């Protein structure tokens, strides 16, 4: 699937190719709406869950596969048309496993989690960049956010001569970006916690040893179904070490 064009391959129950052509998103929706219930196979991509829900809303069975599972079924050179045929072939293979379609709630919580991780990585990256930039001028900033704040406050002060005056405005911009990103990270984390506290399934998961609001949200985003969550609870209970076991170092994620 591309942003503006979707390669659609239609195969009948006898394995005969009816057509294989590129279509616009709107024409693809019209095709799904006007076709009788059938199997809609797709390769995992950024917009898969959206299109899977669209197909399901019209009564179709969705089969989604990871790209590595589709690759052996693709012959000839890699093109959109050949990829579409490979997806159709792979979806009918015995023993093929398919991914679960996420509902809108699951996709929302996953988006929050991914964005939270991105903000966290960006904070670390900005901090490392500021340290490296300062070190180029012989100014050393030790590890830790507290040390970074103290050093920046000192470096950008008018009395400081540790850095050239021409660099101080740049350092202020980087520091403002760091602080803004940190505020965004806190806001997204708060949003995640609020979402978890409103979810009964997450509350049940957090009763398990070693499962925090972050872990509960991750499990719900990945699994979703209540029956699968019960299985996950049994699985986690058998893996998490008791917290009173002093012989084992326990790290909660």
- Domain termination site, one of 148, 177, 194: 194
Question: For residue 170, what are the CA distances in angstroms to 126, 131, 132, 211?
Answer: 13, 13, 13, 42
Whether residues 25 and 77 share a domain: the answer is yes
Q: Which residue has the higher pLDDT, 138 or 245?
A: 138
Q: Are residues 25 and 85 in the same domain?
A: yes
Domain that holds residue 22: 6-90
Give the up-direction half-sphere exposure of residue 170: CA atoms within 13 A in the CB hemisphere: 10
pLDDT of residue 53: 94
In a domain, 232, yes or no: yes
pLDDT band, residue 52 (cuts 50/70/90)? very high
Which has more confidence, 224 or 104?
104
Give the tens place of pLDDT for each residue, 3-18.
Answer: 689 999 999 988 889 9
77-125 tens-digit pLDDT: 888 899 999 999 999 988 898 988 888 888 888 899 999 999 999 999 9
Query: Regarding beta strands 17-23 and 39-43, do their DSSP bridges make them parallel or antiparallel, or are they unpaired?
Result: unpaired
Cα 209 to Cα 212: distance, rounded to the nearest angstrom: 9
- Which one of 55, 90, 125 terminates a domain? 90
The answer to whether residue 135 is domain-embedded is yes
pLDDT at residue 51 tops 90: yes
In a domain, 105, yes or no: no
Give the chain's domain count.
3
* Same-domain check for residues 159 and 180: yes
CB 172 within 8 A of CB 191: no
Cα angle value 140/142/143 (rounded, 5°) = 145
Task: Mark which of 194, 221, 243 sits at the end of a domain.
Answer: 194
Q: Residue 248 falls within a domain, yes or no?
A: yes
Give yes or no: residues 218 and 178 share one domain: no
**Residue 183 falls within a domain, yes or no?**
yes
- The candidate with the shortest Cα–Cα distance to 167, out of 217, 117, 132, 206, is 132
Residues 167 and 216 placed together within one structural domain of the fold: no
Residues 241 and 206 in one domain: yes
More confident residue, 26 or 235: 26
**Contact 69/94 with Cβ under 8 angstroms?**
no
Indicate the pairing of strand 61-65 with strand 39-43: parallel
**Pick from 68, 60, 59, 53: which is nearest to 100 by CA?**
53
Residue 101 in domain: no
Residues 6+ away with beta carbon under 8 Å from 236? 208, 209, 210, 211
Specify the pLDDT at position 106. Answer: 84
Confidence tier at 248 by pLDDT (50, 70, 90) = low
248 and 189, same structural domain? no
Res 132 pLDDT > 80: yes
Same domain for 13 and 55, yes or no, is yes
Structure tokens at 123: 């904070």
Is residue 54 a part of any domain in this protein? yes
Q: Would you say 76 and 92 are in contact if contact means Cβ atoms under 8 Å apart?
A: no
**Whether pLDDT at 225 is above 60:** no
């Amino acid at each position: 699937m591309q942003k503006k064009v979707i390669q659609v391959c239609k195969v009948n129950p006898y394995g005969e190719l009816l057509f294989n052509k590129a279509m616009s998103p709107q024409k693809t929706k019209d095709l799904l709406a006007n076709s009788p219930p059938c199997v809609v196979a797709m390769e995992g991509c950024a917009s898969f869950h959206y299109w899977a829900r669209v197909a399901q809303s019209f009564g179709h069975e969705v089969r989604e596969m990871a790209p590595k599972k589709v690759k052996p079924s693709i012959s000839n050179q890699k093109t959109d048309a050949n990829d579409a045929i490979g997806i159709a072939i792979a979806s009918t293979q015995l023993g093929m496993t398919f991914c679960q379609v996420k509902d809108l709630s699951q996709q929302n919580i996953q988006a929050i989690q991914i964005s939270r991780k991105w903000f966290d990585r960006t904070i670390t990256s900005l901090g490392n960049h500021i340290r490296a930039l300062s070190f180029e001028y012989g100014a050393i900033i030790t590890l830790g956010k507290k040390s970074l704040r103290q050093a920046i406050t000192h470096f950008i002060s008018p009395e400081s001569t540790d850095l050239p005056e021409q660099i101080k405005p740049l350092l202020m911009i980087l520091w403002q970006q760091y602080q803004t990103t940190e505020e965004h990270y806190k806001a997204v984390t708060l949003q995640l916690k609020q979402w978890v506290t409103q979810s009964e399934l997450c509350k049940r998961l957090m009763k398990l040893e070693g499962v925090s609001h972050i872990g509960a949200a991750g499990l719900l985003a990945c699994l979703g179904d209540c029956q699968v969550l019960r299985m996950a609870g049994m699985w986690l209970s058998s893996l998490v070490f008791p917290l009173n076991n002093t012989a084992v170092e326990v790290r909660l994620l």
